[in-house]
Every structure is written in C-alpha cells, then in structure tokens.
Amino acid sequence: MSTRIFISRDAGALALGAEDIARKIADTAEEKGLDIEIVRPGSRGMFWLEPLVEVERPEGRIGYGPVQLDDVDGLFDANFLEGGDHKLNLGLTEEIPFFKNQTRLTFARVGIVDPRSIEDYKATRGYEGLRKAIDMGPEEIVEAVTKSGLRGRGGAGFPTGIKWRTVNQASAPQKYIVCNADEGDSGTFADRMLMEGDPFMLIEGMTIAGIAVGATKGYIYIRSEYPHAIEAMNAAILKAREEGTLGDNILGSPYSYDMEVRVGAGAYVCGEETSLLDSLEGKRGEVRAKPPLPAHIGLFGKPTVINNVLSLGAVPHILADGAEYYQEFGEGKSRGTLPIQLAGNVKFGGVYETAFGVTLGELVNEIGGGTRSGRPVRAVQVGGPLGAYFPPTLFDTPFGYEDFAAKDGLIGHGGVVVFDDTVDMAKMARFAMEFCAVESCGKCTPCRIGSSRGMELMDKIVANEDRAANLIVLEDLCNTMKFGSLCALGGFTPYPVMSALTHFPEDFGADPSRLEAAE
C-alpha cells in the first residue's frame, strides 16, 4: 500500500515553496521506487512550519517542517515515510500545542481533507448540516442560527439570524445569497484559507442560507488578489453540481439553489456590502445610503442576504451540532468561536480558532510568541486598516465585540497585526489617512477630502510645523470624518489615527500630557 503524504496547496504554503517541495518528494520517491501518494490539503494554519510535510502513520500524521529543498534528501535518508527521526520532525501534528489548544469548529477540516475531493468532504460529516436543514425547513433554520448567537464575522458583528429572518419574511419572486469574500483587511487571511481548504463547507453554508430565506441563486464575490481561492471555489462548485448538492432539488428535496463566483477588481471599498452589490451589478463600487437595507432592496433590487465567508462557514456546523453547542463557546454577547489571524511582526503567524474571550496579550505573547524580530512588542493593530492600535498596556482586553468597543477599538474580521519597537506610529497614522484617500469611493466629502487633508496635516505635524495647532485640527478632522461619513471607511479611519495619537503621543512630537489636559 502506498504511503500518504500531505503537503499543503494553500497559497500561504505555496508562497513559502510547497510546490517545489512536493515535486522534489515525488521525484525522489520515484527514483527510489517508493510507493507514495501526495495529497494536497489546505493549511493547518501554522505558517512558521510551512512548507509542512505530513506522513500518514497508524498513530496519526507525523509532521516535518519547515522543509526546504535541501532537506528533502535528508528526510528520505531518515526514513521519514515511517516517521523517522530528523531535526524537522515535529511529532504528531495534532499534538503541537498551537494546534491542539484551538477549538476548531469552522476550521475543523482545513489542512486535513483534500479540498478538491467531495468524497473527503462527505466522509468528514460534510452535508450533515444541509440534511438537517432540509428536514427542518426555513423557519427552524432561521431559529437555530438566531439561537446560536452567531454575529457577522465581516466586521460589523450584526446578528446573522436577524438578517436572515428579514429576508425570509420579504416576499419577492427572486432573492439572493451573496457571500462577501473581498477580505481586504491587512492582517486577515481566514476567508482565503477557508475557501482554499474547505470550499464545500462554504457552499453548504450558502445553500443552507438559500433554503432558509427562499433564495435560489447565490454569488460569491472574491477579490482578484486571491487566484487560488477563486480556483478552489470554481472547482468545488462544479463538483457540487455533479453531485446534486447544488442545482435543482438538492439531495432530492424540494429546494433548489445554485451559485457562481464573481471576481472583484482591486477596490478595498467593495468589501462594504452595498458597494459590493453595486460592483456585482457591474457598476462603480459606490456605497449606497441605508436604508433601504440589502435585506429589503439588495442585489438587482431584490431581497439579499450578504454575509462574510466566516459567518456562512459557521452555519453547517451550527446546524449539524446544534445551536446550543455553538453558543456555549464565547463570552457575553460574543458567542461561538472566531478564527483569529496572527500577522505582522509575529513569531508564530497563522490562524488560531478559539472561543471569544481570549485576551489580546495571550494571543500576541503566548500563542503568537511575541515578535519575529525578537524585539519588544510596541503596538498591535486589531481589525484591519480601520482598526485601532493598542499598546501592551491594553493587552488584558478580552477578544469580544463589546470588550474592544469599550476600549475604542474593534475586532473587525479578527486580524491581529503585531509591530515591534521600531515602528513609527506617526507614519502609521499617516498611512491610515493615505489608504482612506486612495480607497475612498468618493461619495461623501468628509472621507474623500478629509483623508487628503489628514495626510497633509500629518506631514506638517511630523515636520513640526505649528505642531500643537495642527494636532487640534487633526482631532477636529477625525471627528468630522467619524460622524459625517456614510460608511466605515471614512467613519473608522479616525480609529487608527486617534489611537496612535492617544497611545503613542511621543511619536507625534506631542507632549504626552496634552491629551489628558484636554479632557
């Protein structure tokens, strides 16, 4: 029997050389006449160990990593096909603390199954949620999702069940499910990993949403920067159609649902839900005024559920194991688990799915291992380019929607970007304004003009031109942007700017007591 070897096809693993490693292992095995089968799953999410090579043994998968090309001969010499000793031998992958200590509900299959194999999917409890959903019917599905406490993972944290109920109750000849896979936030990659590593589950989640609200058509809008995810989703959709889990009368039920991939075109603002809908319609991705909500007047004017990848990805599990089980995880009004993404200058970069409530300090210092540079952590940006910068003095903040809001921050899509003590926070504040200026959809003045003004002000402050006065103008400008912008691009850019100024005034040449005095 051939030995099964697992080498990830996740874009992150490929970016670290997994393709070359897979080829070299295949070639070497052939030369040596060894019978192996190479499977290409998603990634386990421990990227400091990628390219990770896992060998299937009776006791489980033995990991070796990070494997470089010139390690391959040594691995064969060490008889790695039988789990032999080698300096890169990590033991059983699932026993590595970073992996073992997670609560993998949404990421249960990622890094384990072959994402191109619907058989693998079915063999690992795939479609259990969908079968239950078909038996339950729309009302009960909505009820379950509401009871689970699931909140939107795209950033705003809106209760998913309530959104679904609104669309369920709307009457219209056509409704849509839209999956938001625009994942533009720096420091986030969980959507990408899920699409690449478990695409059938996302399709299943969208199908359940379709049944719940009476939508027969879905779109997944994937950013163009994600060619591997686009390929994975397209391949999975074709297989699901062949299998009868997409299309008419799904699994022999009265329900029909089909979907397709649409590709974005490099606009960050198109992650905002109404801008995304306009983009899907073929227009400029300008933000729409709300109301009307997309749930009432959405894609092509029809009632539309728009949810993030991780929100829809949580659904099959919620249906399969029950709402009670899911909502037992977490704290306060933040229920269930969140795949947190550790990024930036961090030693152990990757995805860490855990119940809400873990503190920022545990994430950065313990789970993430501190900085990769080995220097002290100075700041952490949580929640993407619109998220606040937190200093280590706020590391006791638990990961939860309300906990972060209470500290003038947000968890957004769960990205945590670590900076060491070489960071210049005035530069980061300027970058936030610049990013807003470049990506603004242009619809409202505080965002479009304000962000350019903000860049100029930052330049003056850094150059020590009228610093004290300009800092006051900057604060005023942030207030105008915060309260006068139509969407969170203009409205939340003040978060990174003001948090940088509040927590790191010395980088702005400001007197640290200035802000206290102003209060």
Partner 1 sequence: MHNYEPFEADRAAEIIAKHQAREGATLPILHDMQETFGHIPDAAVVMIAEALNLSRAEVHGTVTFYHDFRKEVPGRRVLKICRAESCQAAGGDAIADRMEKRLGVELGGTTTDRRVTVEAVYCLGLCHSSPTAMLDEKVYALLDEEKADALCAEAER
* Site residues for ligand FMN per CB under 6 A: 152-156, 158, 180, 182-184, 269, 271-273, 306-308, 311, 487-489
> 207 Cβ partners below 8 Å, 6+ apart?
130, 218, 245, 246, 250, 257, 259
User: Which run of H or of E encompasses 275?
Assistant: helix 273-280
Residue 321 CB, shortest distance to ligand FMN, in Å, is 20
> 166 Cβ partners below 8 Å, 6+ apart?
293, 295, 296, 303
What is the pairing mode between strands 217-222 and 176-181?
Answer: parallel
Rounded to the nearest 10°, the torsion over CA 354, 349, 46, 42 is 90
Instruction: Work out what residue 343 binds among ligand SF4, partner 1, ligand FMN, none; the CB cut-off runs from 5 to 8 Å by kind.
Output: partner 1
State yes or no: residue 461 binds ligand SF4 (CB under 6 A). Answer: no
Residue 133 CB, shortest distance to partner 1, in Å, is 26
d(CA 451, CA 442): 11
State yes or no: residue 274 binds ligand SF4 (CB under 6 A). Answer: no
State yes or no: residue 374 binds partner 1 (CB under 8 A). Answer: no
Residue 322 CB, shortest distance to partner 1, in Å, is 32
Stretch 226-265: interaction string toward partner 1, x if CB under 8 A: xxx---------------------------------xxxx
In this chain, which of 185, 204, 403, 475 binds partner 1, going by CB under 8 A?
185
How many Cα atoms are found within 13 Å in the side-chain-facing hemisphere of 31?
8
State yes or no: residue 349 binds partner 1 (CB under 8 A). Answer: yes
Instruction: Work out what residue 385 binds among ligand SF4, partner 1, ligand FMN, none; the CB cut-off runs from 5 to 8 Å by kind.
Output: partner 1
Residue 505 CB, shortest distance to partner 1, in Å, is 20
Q: Answer for the pair 412, 386: CB distance below 8 angstroms, yes or no.
A: yes
Instruction: Work out what residue 311 binds among partner 1, ligand SF4, ligand FMN, none; the CB cut-off runs from 5 to 8 Å by kind.
Output: ligand FMN
Q: Answer for the pair 353, 339: CB distance below 8 angstroms, yes or no.
A: yes
Alpha helix segments (H runs only) across 422-466:
425-439, 445-462
**Cα angle 412-146-353, degrees, rounded to a multiple of 5:** 40
Token pair belonging to 392: 């280590």
In this chain, which of 65, 149, 152, 187 binds partner 1, going by CB under 8 A?
187
Instruction: Work out what residue 285 binds among ligand SF4, ligand FMN, partner 1, none; the CB cut-off runs from 5 to 8 Å by kind.
Output: partner 1
State yes or no: residue 281 binds partner 1 (CB under 8 A). Answer: yes
Instruction: Single out the segment in contact with ligand SF4 by CB under 6 A; choices: 72-80, 136-144, 324-332, 485-493.
Output: 485-493
Instruction: Work out what residue 443 binds among ligand SF4, ligand FMN, partner 1, none; the CB cut-off runs from 5 to 8 Å by kind.
Output: ligand SF4
Neighbours of 82 (CB within 10 A): 10
> 122 Cβ partners below 8 Å, 6+ apart?
none
Residue with smaller CB distance to ligand FMN, 93 or 274: 274
Residue with smaller CB distance to ligand FMN, 54 or 286: 286
Instruction: Work out what residue 158 binds among ligand FMN, ligand SF4, partner 1, none; the CB cut-off runs from 5 to 8 Å by kind.
Output: ligand FMN
Residue 175 pairs in a beta bridge with none
Instruction: Single out the segment in contact with ligand SF4 by CB under 6 A; choices: 116-124, 213-221, 341-349, 486-494.
Output: 486-494
Token pair belonging to 203: 């399709």
Q: Taking the chain, what is the end-to-end CA distance rounded to the nearest angstrom?
A: 73
For the four alpha carbons of 498, 500, 504 and 507, in that order, the dihedral sign comes to negative
Residue with smaller CB distance to ligand SF4, 439 or 507: 439
In this chain, which of 14, 118, 190, 287 binds ligand SF4, going by CB under 6 A?
287
In this chain, which of 4, 147, 448, 467 binds ligand SF4, going by CB under 6 A?
448
DSSP string, 336-360: SEEEEEEEES-SS-EEEEEETT-BH
State yes or no: residue 267 binds ligand SF4 (CB under 6 A). Answer: no
How many Cα atoms are found within 13 Å in the side-chain-facing hemisphere of 24?
17
Instruction: Work out what residue 490 binds among partner 1, ligand SF4, ligand FMN, none; the CB cut-off runs from 5 to 8 Å by kind.
Output: ligand SF4
Q: Answer for the pair 181, 220: CB distance below 8 angstroms, yes or no.
A: yes
- Among candidates 381, 392, 363, which has minimal Cα distance to 427? 381
3-state secondary structure 50-111: CCCEEEEECCEEEEECCCCHHHHHHHHHCCHHHCCCCCCEEEEHHHCHHHHCCCCCCCCCCC
Residue with smaller CB distance to partner 1, 78 or 215: 215
In this chain, which of 266, 292, 332, 376 binds partner 1, going by CB under 8 A?
266
**Interface ranges with partner 1 (CB under 8 A):** 11-12, 14-16, 45, 47-48, 50, 183-189, 191-192, 224-228, 262-268, 279-286, 300, 341-345, 349-351, 372-373, 381, 385, 415, 417-420, 423, 428, 431, 435, 439
**Interface ranges with ligand SF4 (CB under 6 A):** 269, 287, 440-444, 447-448, 485-487, 489-491
